[in-house]
């Protein structure tokens, strides 16, 4: 657990400090009481993309509000342990969650969840989108998505693709690619993409729809070949790669990172956190830090995040059921 300790001052300069929940007072006109602490739960281990982005947001909000902001890593069960803890927390704005694709997929991958991702958690805002990059072994005789599809169809079941685990965006990118192209490849799950990348370089697997921050340095060093980006538009981090969607219409996959709160958190609190997160994401220094992760800042509304989550559940739920994927 890491604590960001900021000088305690009024949440909004020039406004009187008023306790949360005073009838008839909007949250935008109140300050967090002195000594109050907000906790952001990261349901994954330290140093991953979710953790890094979470700490950037916590630091920014803590400075803006003048309060203590704690980041707590509660890893396990594909993010379910930390997510469940937030779902059961008091809905007062003091406990928040930053989560990724598992919010949409875990209900289909796991036999049982102790929380409902829609009923028990309230969407706040999409923080960022991070594309994956389709990369292949440098000796594979393909140099484009079209050539990869043709090669896979000519060699059904012979190509293997690695992932960072069942149900991750890296894995689901491969499953979605096969569904939309009518190809058949062998999935090889790893505990992370670092080992998968080494096996790709060594020729033990043929391709990965890898996290761009992991893959891009190897592509630019010439140890593997990059073919295309998984998002519907080009990435500022690697604009030389066209989207897979230009060859495979409808293909659009990203790792995404969003803030949620316990259900029944007052809407005024949700709206305040969303607005201040969006303002923080406009800061050039924060955007520069995020650019190092190839993360595209978003900061959309709660309604936009809710609609996005429903679309992700539909897309991945149908696909997971179709392929029979199950998490350990």
Instruction: Give the residue extent of every domain in the chain.
Output: 2-129+254-323, 131-246
pLDDT tier at 13 (50, 70, 90 boundaries)? very low
CA distance 108 to 104: 8
pLDDT tier at 192 (50, 70, 90 boundaries)? confident
Under 8 Å CB-to-CB from 24, ≥6 apart: which residues? none
- DSSP code at position 282: T
CA distance 47 to 224: 25
pLDDT, one tens digit per residue, over 137-172 is 999 999 999 999 999 999 999 999 999 889 999 999
pLDDT at residue 24, as a whole number: 35
Residue 79 token pair: 């993010």
User: How many Cβ atoms from other residues are within 10 Å of residue 54's Cβ?
Assistant: 27
The CATH number of the domain covering residues in 2-129+254-323: 3.40.190.150
What is the end-to-end Cα distance of the chain in Å, rounded? Answer: 27
User: How many Cβ atoms from other residues are within 10 Å of residue 288's Cβ?
Assistant: 9
CA distance 32 to 19: 7
pLDDT, one tens digit per residue, over 254-312 is 999 999 999 999 999 999 999 999 999 999 999 999 999 899 999 999 999 999 999 99
Does domain 131-246 sit in CATH 3.30.1300.30? no
Under 8 Å CB-to-CB from 144, ≥6 apart: which residues? 227, 228, 247
pLDDT tier at 191 (50, 70, 90 boundaries)? confident
Give the pLDDT mean for 31-47: 81
CA distance 103 to 160: 27
% of the chain at pLDDT higher than 90: 80
Within this chain, domains 2-129+254-323 and 131-246 share the same CATH topology: yes
pLDDT at residue 34, as a whole number: 55
Buried/exposed code over 146-160 (b: 16+ C-beta within 10 A; e: otherwise): eebbebbeeeeeebb
User: How many Cβ atoms from other residues are within 10 Å of residue 207's Cβ?
Assistant: 24
- Secondary structure element (H or E) that encloses residue 95, with its range: strand 95-99
Under 8 Å CB-to-CB from 294, ≥6 apart: which residues? 130, 131, 212, 213, 216, 235, 236, 237, 238
CA distance 18 to 24: 12
CA distance 207 to 196: 9
Contact 75, 129 (CB under 8 A): no
pLDDT tier at 12 (50, 70, 90 boundaries)? very low
Query: What is the model's pTM?
Result: 0.86
Contact 234, 243 (CB under 8 A): yes
């Amino acid at each position: 657990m890491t604590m960001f300790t900021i000088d305690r001052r009024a949440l909004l300069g020039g406004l009187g400090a008023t306790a949360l929940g005073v009838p008839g007072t909007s949250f935008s006109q109140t300050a967090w009481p002195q000594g109050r602490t907000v906790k952001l739960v990261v349901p994954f281990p330290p140093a991953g993309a979710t953790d890094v982005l979470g700490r950037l947001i916590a630091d920014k909000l803590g400075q803006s509000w003048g309060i203590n902001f704690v980041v707590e890593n509660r890893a396990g069960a594909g993010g379910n342990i930390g997510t469940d803890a937030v779902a059961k927390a008091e809905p007062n704005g003091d406990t928040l969650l930053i989560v990724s694709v598992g919010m949409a997929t875990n209900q289909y991958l796991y036999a049982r969840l102790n929380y409902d991702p829609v009923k028990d958690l309230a969407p706040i805002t999409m923080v960022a989108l991070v594309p994956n990059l389709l990369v292949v072994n440098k000796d594979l005789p393909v140099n484009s998505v079209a050539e990869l599809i043709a090669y896979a169809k000519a060699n059904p079941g012979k190509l293997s693709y690695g992932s960072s685990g069942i149900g991750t965006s890296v894995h689901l990118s491969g499953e979605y690619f096969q569904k939309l192209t009518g190809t058949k490849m062998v999935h090889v799950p790893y505990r992370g993409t670092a080992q998968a990348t080494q096996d790709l370089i060594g020729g033990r697997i043929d391709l990965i729809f890898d996290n761009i921050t992991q893959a891009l340095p190897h592509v630019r060093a010439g140890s593997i070949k990059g073919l295309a980006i998984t998002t519907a538009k080009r990435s500022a981090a690697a604009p030389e790669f066209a989207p897979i969607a230009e060859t495979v219409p409808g293909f659009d996959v990203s790792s995404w990172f969003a803030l949620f709160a316990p259900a029944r958190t007052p809407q005024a609190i949700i709206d305040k956190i969303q607005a201040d997160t969006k303002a923080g994401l406009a800061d050039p220094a924060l955007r520069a830090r995020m650019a190092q992760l190839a993360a595209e800042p978003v900061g959309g509304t709660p309604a936009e995040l809710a609609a996005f989550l429903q679309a992700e559940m539909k897309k991945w739920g149908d696909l997971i059921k179709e392929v029979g994927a199950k998490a350990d």
